[in-house]
Amino acid sequence: MRSALGWLGDAVPAWFSIEELGGQVLVGRARLPKAPWGDGLHLRIFGDTKPKVCEMVPGTDLPARCPERHVQFDKTFCLGLRYLTVRSVSDAENWWTQLYQFILCQIVAERTRVWPPNHALDHGDAGEHHERALKLASEAGLEGEYAAARLGEPSWITDPKLHLYDRKGDPINGRAPCPRGCLRRARGRVVRTLRTDCDKRALVVQLSHAESKRRVALEEYWQHVIAEGVPCCRTMRDCRLAEREDEAARNAKEGDDVF
């Protein structure tokens, strides 16, 4: 059976030059327009059916590990929520497209210290909940409201006082007003729509539940990373690792000042 790396070699794009291809490794350089890395990113691609990719020498041009730049604990790049299986030229072309988009985002991050917000799912298990929430928001026509809620703006989506669902995520309090403030006409006057009468109730509840699970999973991810003692690379504007280190430094300074 032909290996995934063989298919990648057949479909190699013009922006990538292969230096070595054999066995279970493909080595080469990615050279994209306006990239800030001199002679391109020197990359190593490996794997049988689901190729992974990392810098030839991790930490050379990109951080060796950085959650905010989607460089994982094993120093490989996170190209998406799931690894692509490469068994054809078409699969290989999709894989190269994922890598191309990843490098484009790295160029933006290098220059602005911000990862393009519409080109990534959340870290760890939170990514699956994030993906589901985006799908539900799209189905309900609530993309803007969800984007704002995810960024921390006050929203019915994240308001626990509304009690939209039970512990299993099933809808409750059907006689309460629709959380979106929907109105309807009844007996000649305009009244608030009840949750049970809202045609998007199921989507609304599922969206709120998915966002709640996303937040819990993301917090668990960061607590795990912090507990590992992963240092911050200081290449991004907002990072929980940097916040943690800065807080620890302030506490240490305050302790020294006491004495």
The string over 91-125, giving b where at least 16 C-beta atoms fall within 10 Å of a residue's C-beta and e elsewhere, is bbbebbebbbebbbbbbebeeeeebeeeebbbbee
pLDDT at 217 over 70: yes
The residues spanned by each domain of the chain are 4-112, 126-228
Question: Has residue 241 got a pLDDT over 90?
Answer: yes
How many residues are listed for the chain in this entry?
259
Residue 171 has pLDDT above 80, yes or no: yes
> What span, in angstroms and rounded, lies between the C-alpha atoms of 106 and 114?
9
Determine if the pTM surpasses 0.85: yes
Q: Model confidence over 79-99: pLDDT tens digits?
A: 999 999 999 999 999 999 999
Note the pLDDT of residue 1. 74
Which of 70-74, 130-134, 197-201 comes out lowest in average pLDDT? 197-201
Query: What pLDDT is attached to residue 254?
Result: 74
Query: How far is 41 from 65, CA to CA, in rounded Å?
Result: 16
What is d(CA 181, CA 143) in angstroms, rounded to the nearest whole number?
17
* Residue 209, φ and ψ in degrees, nearest 5: -65, -45
What's the average model confidence in pLDDT over 213-226? Answer: 96
Q: Produce one character per residue of 28-52: b if its CB has 16 or more CB atoms within 10 Å, e if not.
A: bbbbeeebebeebbbbbbbbeeebb
- pLDDT band of residue 190 (cuts 50, 70, 90) is confident
Q: Identify the residue with better confidence: 184 or 114.
A: 114
Query: In the chain, what percentage of residues exceed pLDDT 70?
Result: 98
pLDDT at 165: 95
Summarised one tens digit per residue, pLDDT across range 23-47 is 789 999 999 999 999 899 999 999 9
